[in-house]
Structure 1
């Protein structure tokens, strides 16, 4: 589990000659065949290397008479054998440095046997596969007034904010269970430093070393239990110390903003992970609150994992956590970049960025409609809004909750609005400054979607053509035919600049197809091949409501026929030791999968090795215990929305009781879409009375026909362009995405000059 298992092609030693262009048996002149050698890059694909170095292993068959000391290594015609040795772990390995940007040929020679591997190197500032980087980008590496949490990295060396070398800072765990600054030049007495025992049973001083550097234009932090021999030193990638268990935990950040100013990583002082021996990493580029681009986020994780492998050693497996925007990233990375993460702990669980973006647009439109109806003296009641929206009641869309979608609609759609240094930038777009930076989700992801026309504005996949808003509410008798007709007549849409228009919004040509084909809509295929514990706080009052985790469950179910790798834990009050329970269960799960040496496919291993705690459950705070009753906890893939009601008439509102765990829906499911909720642009069918459980007057039907001249959504069919995305796509050749295909492998001979 320490490499990226993505269509590796011919990787077996025997296949180097046989299946990849060589031949078995004797050579053409009757002499014995040359000894097959295999060159492998560790920690990444050979065509995705960055930063000018790569950790390499050369394998010799056990039956061969060639010895490691006979192997000569040549990089681009230069002997680099001195970088290699038979290491303490029994493997012939070396850190190859001096890679030029572009293709590099590494050759292994041992007598008559030769093998070569082409290594493609990319800049440490990126990009590697994410496509052209957005400008403008402001570096903040030079810190005028450094603090223990914000060290000075020095002046940037270039426009990508690269620095001369990483800097290190230190913390230690006190005896009263807090982190304090550790000064290597004046350390506290050893008896004042706590000790911790890793999950491998090694007891070491609880001193944390934190590396901060810059990769892919973003500041990163890597925290780990310091080398017991010397806290100020790292180690080689060939023999890790007792303090590191070889595992990595990633901290993904929440939000969704489009900053153009370098920020700081998330907090890597994760006691639960560190105390067990995990390395903990985060980057500004994986903090959605400053950088809402999941492709660049995945690229950064890949680049930093390579950096860790080259400087500290191979990673056994990678786990992750993160709420809200951190959940977006976990789901999307697991879906699109198999092998990048082996286990995830999403919470406040948005399923992905774009299918939730649909609902932000819907909520802005619905609020506008409801406000106009109220002003006209024809308001919808709280319960009518709840049924139209799919939510528990109107505040999920409209407020007055602290977080509600309509209030944030402009942040994702209006090019002149946005936080994190975008909307406040001196050169932000406006109608008087059309060439300024555009603060929209699609414009921050223009490398994915491409420009729509000569304006240079990015294409948008947002679309509400054919959406029958309030369909389920109508057919269940919750709203009247006239309310339904008026709603769909007047809801309208947004133009490319986030301005309301009376007509529905249409996705730009090809944009919805790109959203699906490139993987911007999290797909269930590879989500079914990671261990997932979805942490769901019982939240029915704001945008992070429960249903989003069930969307992921339904996407996995549709692709695999079950959702056995997907565990849901629900709670209304935080259970005791909850963080430890989550982390330890996932750690046990993946450690058991790692130890499974059977020939089972990965997904079968994940399902077969689930720990006892890795089952759906809900925490009953009233009796202080966990329940695993799926009916009581309401954890099926099609959960009920049954709830008690408080109040009467226009003041009635759903108010779940202590033993009720209803799961409400989103605006698109309330409009007839399935529970996977993943259609960016629907296929259309003619408007038909057969789809309605009510009768319309002739005048109402004529009005509906005028609203839907092209037809209405046909959810019996996939959406436009909705197909399973190929994994590991690159945008270096332009928008839309192109699968990388099989990873490069070594081949006999010395290759082209």
Structure 2
């Protein structure tokens, strides 16, 4: 039997290696051939916090004329980064403009008289520039839209009251594609600056996704119009940019710099709006929190949907997920962890017997590693929500963007989310931007131990073997098996286990972050501190039962930071609804009243909605619960709030401790951290498992320059920012 198993493993590995050697993912003819040289330019200098750093004057003359190219280099977000993949073709703007003949960037091809691309290269584009132009679309009352390109289509719009004509201006600003959507009459077709239907109110559309930079990003006009058709029919104008879609970048300094320039373009054309409301989901939600915090005045109100406080904070527990799955599958008995209560005790995120589409990776990887074949039944949000996240954001050697770039560029580039923050966090001379993730001293499952869901032996085994992520410079690419005619490859290094430390006679090594990098992220506004001085309605659908990554606990992490920083919630509301109902009409109406009267209306209270849009409960206490140490309110009882792995490890609900301060195991025992479980008899095993000590979450984050330097814990107000502002003004 053993001989047969070994033969099966050897055969499978041989086939895999052969296919890995011979099969490659396809490359486009528009891939980036060579990376352009790094430019030198000014980046905003931040001494305390970016909110208090004066932005330079923009010397660009607005409006940018039609047929011309907008500013290329950011005003204060630092030098343009390369490589940079173009998306002008995918956005309907044609090939990018030629800007060099040295083969930097993407090839630009000659077009024939009918506009078809030939095989003749006329030059190259490193910055993906496009001249501004006008396009016209019609959008109906039910959100359907089409581009108006002929007289007959224009006549159709004129004949139907249900169709609204929209003038779109598109081009590039800061290399990213911008869009200005203005509702107009048919008679205004062909004009540039007319706006007789505009209600003098503006929407800034943000969008989500997980991106790591290196891309221009596309703007899909049809999708934009379908999202905002109700508001466009009411006379709102809408502006956006691919720099404000986190599928392409989480560089919030660049996002802010670009957004201001697009708003200047809009105001130069149409005048200053009565107000600007931001809206966007997931990454597009957190972008509103950060931009409102970092650069007051860009938006006057916010509707963050499915939002997190910020991206960096999300990685704290999200990058724990593959550590857990590696532990369950390859460092322990997988069948033992089929218990939903045990998983919940460790991960905090919801789980269920909902099979993930990648289930077949498990037996393949079990064969490769010699594990007992077992098909799991229980999956958590760690799998359904964060599958593959560590490879995308944390592994510079992987790079899911590689098909967009030549082999030469791929070998020269570090592909990670951390690299997208390099202008803020990377030290001179370093090859890789540092990771901000840390798990030294984290006692995974501590809360489960204290509640009796994990035995002391299970708790110790988990923490001895869990390990951490290897340094950026030591990470290796994923081993992916590509089959002809099949888009999705087979993952042979499931859960990125080859980039995770293993235990031997010593516990598996944990990951140590770079404190200076964390402090820079704080100062440059990549982390949400809780500054909330504009009306904000935080909206979620309740998706916990679907194991969706947009869990509602993030709304309360954000709220706690607001409370800790400013001591009140006068501008913050939380609305959570059944997945079949979206209360956007109500949100726009409430914010319109709030902004025009300068007072919060009664209808702006915290609330939860049912399937048909009925208000289940509303008021100040409806969302009380474990997060604020109060009896559960009506909405909390209707829509239960789950936790995450760091809360289960004893961390704060605010979720903003990047690097904990540690104390010895002896001190932890003396302080009663494990009570009501008496762990005195396990002291030696605890010390062997945590030789560098354990987290004391009653002490401040070592990486937070505003709390740690003032001796404040994560659960106390951050007053140092106001002090910093006073010092700068004096």
Return the TM-score normalized by structure 2. 0.71
Q: Which residue pairs with 1:720 in the alignment?
A: 702
2:607 paired with 1:665: no
Distance 1:554 1:255, change over 3 A: same
Match of 1:355 among 291, 313, 323: 313
Q: Which residue pairs with 1:180 in the alignment?
A: 146
Match of 2:395 among 409, 414, 417: 414
TM-aligned CA deviation for residue 559 of structure 1:
1.4
Q: Which residue pairs with 1:505 in the alignment?
A: 511
Q: Which residue pairs with 1:389 in the alignment?
A: 347
- Separation (CA, whole Å) in 2 of partners of 1:677 and 1:583: 29
Deviations 1:602-626 (A, max 9, x none): xxxxxxx112321111113379444
Distance 1:531 1:698, change over 3 A: closer
Bigger relative CO (Cα 8 Å, ≥ 6 apart): 1
Q: Which residue pairs with 1:364 in the alignment?
A: 322
Q: What are the ranges of 5 or more consecutive residues in structure 2 without an aligned counterpart?
A: 1-43, 45-52, 101-124, 357-377, 476-498, 502-507, 708-722
Distance 1:175 1:261, change over 3 A: closer
Matches within 5 A, 1:155-174: 155-157=97-99, 161=127, 163=129, 165-174=131-140
Match of 2:567 among 561, 569, 594: 561
TM-aligned CA deviation for residue 721 of structure 1:
3.4
Match of 1:574 among 561, 580, 584: 580
Q: Which residue pairs with 1:134 in the alignment?
A: 81
Distance 1:711 1:406, change over 3 A: farther
TM-aligned CA deviation for residue 428 of structure 1:
7.5
Deviations 1:33-58 (A, max 9, x none): xxxxxxxxxxx9882415x3158xxx
Q: Which residue pairs with 1:653 in the alignment?
A: none
Matches within 5 A, 1:3-402: 47-49=56-58, 52-53=60-61, 124-141=71-88, 143=89, 150-152=92-94, 155-157=97-99, 161=127, 163=129, 165-174=131-140, 178-183=144-149, 185-186=151-152, 187-188=154-155, 191-194=158-161, 206-226=164-184, 230-235=188-193, 241-266=195-220, 267-269=223-225, 270-372=228-330, 374-375=332-333, 378-379=336-337, 381-393=339-351, 399=379
- Separation (CA, whole Å) in 1 of partners of 2:385 and 2:406: 28
Q: Which residue pairs with 1:457 in the alignment?
A: 432
Q: Retained in 2: the 8 A contact 1:348–1:537? A: yes
Q: Which protein has the larger Cα radius of gyration, Structure 1 or Structure 2?
A: 1
Return the TM-score normalized by structure 1. 0.68
Q: Retained in 2: the 8 A contact 1:567–1:614? A: yes
Distance 1:259 1:697, change over 3 A: closer
Q: Which residue pairs with 1:681 in the alignment?
A: 659
Deviations 1:85-105 (A, max 9, x none): xxxxxxxxxx99xxxxxxxxx
Task: Tell me the SS of whatever aligns to 2:155.
Answer: coil
Task: Tell me the SS of whatever aligns to 1:245.
Answer: coil
Q: Retained in 2: the 8 A contact 1:416–1:429? A: no
Q: Which residue pairs with 2:524 in the alignment?
A: 518
TM-aligned CA deviation for residue 355 of structure 1:
0.7
- Separation (CA, whole Å) in 2 of partners of 1:637 and 1:275: 40
2:449 paired with 1:474: yes
2:609 paired with 1:619: yes
TM-aligned CA deviation for residue 328 of structure 1:
2.3
Q: Retained in 2: the 8 A contact 1:570–1:633? A: no
Q: Which residue pairs with 1:589 in the alignment?
A: 594
Task: Tell me the SS of whatever aligns to 1:296.
Answer: helix
Match of 2:406 among 422, 426, 434: 426
Task: Tell me the SS of whatever aligns to 1:506.
Answer: coil
Q: Retained in 1: the 8 A contact 2:96–2:128? A: no
TM-aligned CA deviation for residue 573 of structure 1:
3.4
- Separation (CA, whole Å) in 2 of partners of 1:534 and 1:385: 29
Match of 1:444 among 415, 420, 424: 420
- Separation (CA, whole Å) in 1 of partners of 2:402 and 2:724: 32
- Number of residue pairs matched? 570
- Separation (CA, whole Å) in 2 of partners of 1:685 and 1:162: 52
Higher strand share: 1
- Separation (CA, whole Å) in 2 of partners of 1:399 and 1:380: 8
TM-aligned CA deviation for residue 313 of structure 1:
1.8
TM-aligned CA deviation for residue 285 of structure 1:
1.1
Task: Tell me the SS of whatever aligns to 1:210.
Answer: strand
- Separation (CA, whole Å) in 1 of partners of 2:673 and 2:380: 35
Deviations 1:184-224 (A, max 9, x none): 745215752427xxxxxxxxx93210011001111111101
Q: Which residue pairs with 1:404 in the alignment?
A: 385
